[in-house]
Every structure is written in structure tokens, then in C-alpha cells.
Amino acid sequence: MNRRRRPFRTAPVLLVAALVALTGCSAEAGSGQRAVTPPAHVTPGSAAPATAAAAVKPLARSLPVRVQVPAAGVDTGATGSVLELGLAADGTVEVPSVEDADRIGWYGKGVTPGQTGPAVLIGHFDTARGPAVLKDVAKVRVGDEITVTRADGSTAVFRVRELEQVDKDAFPTAKVYGDTARPELRLVTCGGELVDGHRPDNIILYADLVATRAA
């Protein structure tokens, strides 16, 4: 697991960590597993044309309990509830443990999926044990959907607007964690060719709320 030490900052509405060497970046040390590298299509600029998303009424706060990303074969309903992540002692955002590599975490100091603002989900791409929950993130394309089921029984459906791959030293903190005027979602993992057993990049999916379903 690769986690760079970066300072913690606050923003007016939600706590913003100048994070991230986020998730799933270590695939080293004798696991016997072949490391998986995302195809090159996940690159900066993989974005939909700049069009306004249709207005969808925001939901009230309710914790996420299930995440589905059909294009990447992700359905956390089979692997346990969504983890709630906070801040580590060094001020970076927590990531799921290696033992929870098949689960997705939600940054609990931000909004819940469906509320106004950027809800942030974090998952491993791989670990020293092999491929993890977001191993097939490279199959996701602009226009694909991410569905989040919430504790109150409601469902928030997001459509991917942009895919971005960035060096961790240039992580776009404000873009990921900064306030937004509408409900949005970020799904963050790691990528890039292995360097000294770690992946040097973050892959970030940006998505907009396009539909809700009541319990």
C-alpha cells in the first residue's frame, strides 16, 4: 500500500484532505499473482462533452450500503456492506485494508451519495495478494452508470462524465473534494505501471446524479 504524507486542510462545507495516494497500489512481494495494469484508454481528457446534467432533486443524508458498477463487474452486495472511511493519524484519507480489498469504502467526512456535493468512494485496484474490487475499472467508459443503494432503501444512480488518470503528486484535491452545486460522485483507485512495487497514479471517475428511486 502506497500512501504519501500530505497535510490536512478544511473547506467550508466538507473536510478536505490533501490526499491521496489512495488505494490499491501495492502489488509487490511474492504474492505469486500477476500484476494487472489498466489499459491506456484511462487517460486525462477521457471526458464527455461539456453539457449540463439534467437536474435531479438531491436526496437527504443516508449512508451507502451497496455499490454497483456493472461495466467493471462490481457489486458489493456480494462482498459485504460499504466501509466508512475517515482520516488516518497522519491526516491522509483512510483506505480499505488489504483484508477488505474486495470492498469499497466511502469517505465518511463528506456527503453521502445523492446529497448535494461530491460523495467519494475509494477501492483497491490490486494489492500484494492480487487483483481487487476495482481490477476492471479500465472497462468503464463515459456514459456508464454507477448505482448506490442507501441505508434508507433509496437508490442513487450516477452517470460517468469523466475519467482521469493523474500522478499522485499532482492529485486534483479541489476537483475531487471541492464543493459542487449538485449531487456528484467520485470513484477513486490506483493505476499505472508498477514502480518499485507500487502504482504511481490515481484513476478517478467523476459522475453526476441522473436518477433516484425511493425505497
Residue 90 neighbours by CB distance under 10 Å: 11
Asked if residues 59 and 116 have their Cβ atoms less than 8 Å apart, the reply is: no
Give the pLDDT confidence score for residue 37 in this predicted structure.
Answer: 35
CATH assignment at residue 83? 2.40.260.10
Give me the residues of the chain with pLDDT under 50, please. Answer: 1-46, 49-52
Give the pLDDT confidence score for residue 164 in this predicted structure.
Answer: 96
Residue 44 lies in a domain: no
Give the pLDDT confidence score for residue 115 in this predicted structure.
Answer: 98
Q: How many domains does the structure of the chain reveal?
A: 1
Q: CA–CA separation, 44 vs 188, rounded Å? A: 14
Give the pLDDT confidence score for residue 12 in this predicted structure.
Answer: 30
Give the pLDDT confidence score for residue 144 in this predicted structure.
Answer: 98
Residue 20 lies in a domain: yes
Give the pLDDT confidence score for residue 212 in this predicted structure.
Answer: 97
pTM, to two decimals? 0.79
**Domain assignment of residue 30, given as a range:** 9-35+59-213
* CA dist 63 → 15, 56, 140, 148, 201 (Å): 17, 19, 24, 10, 28
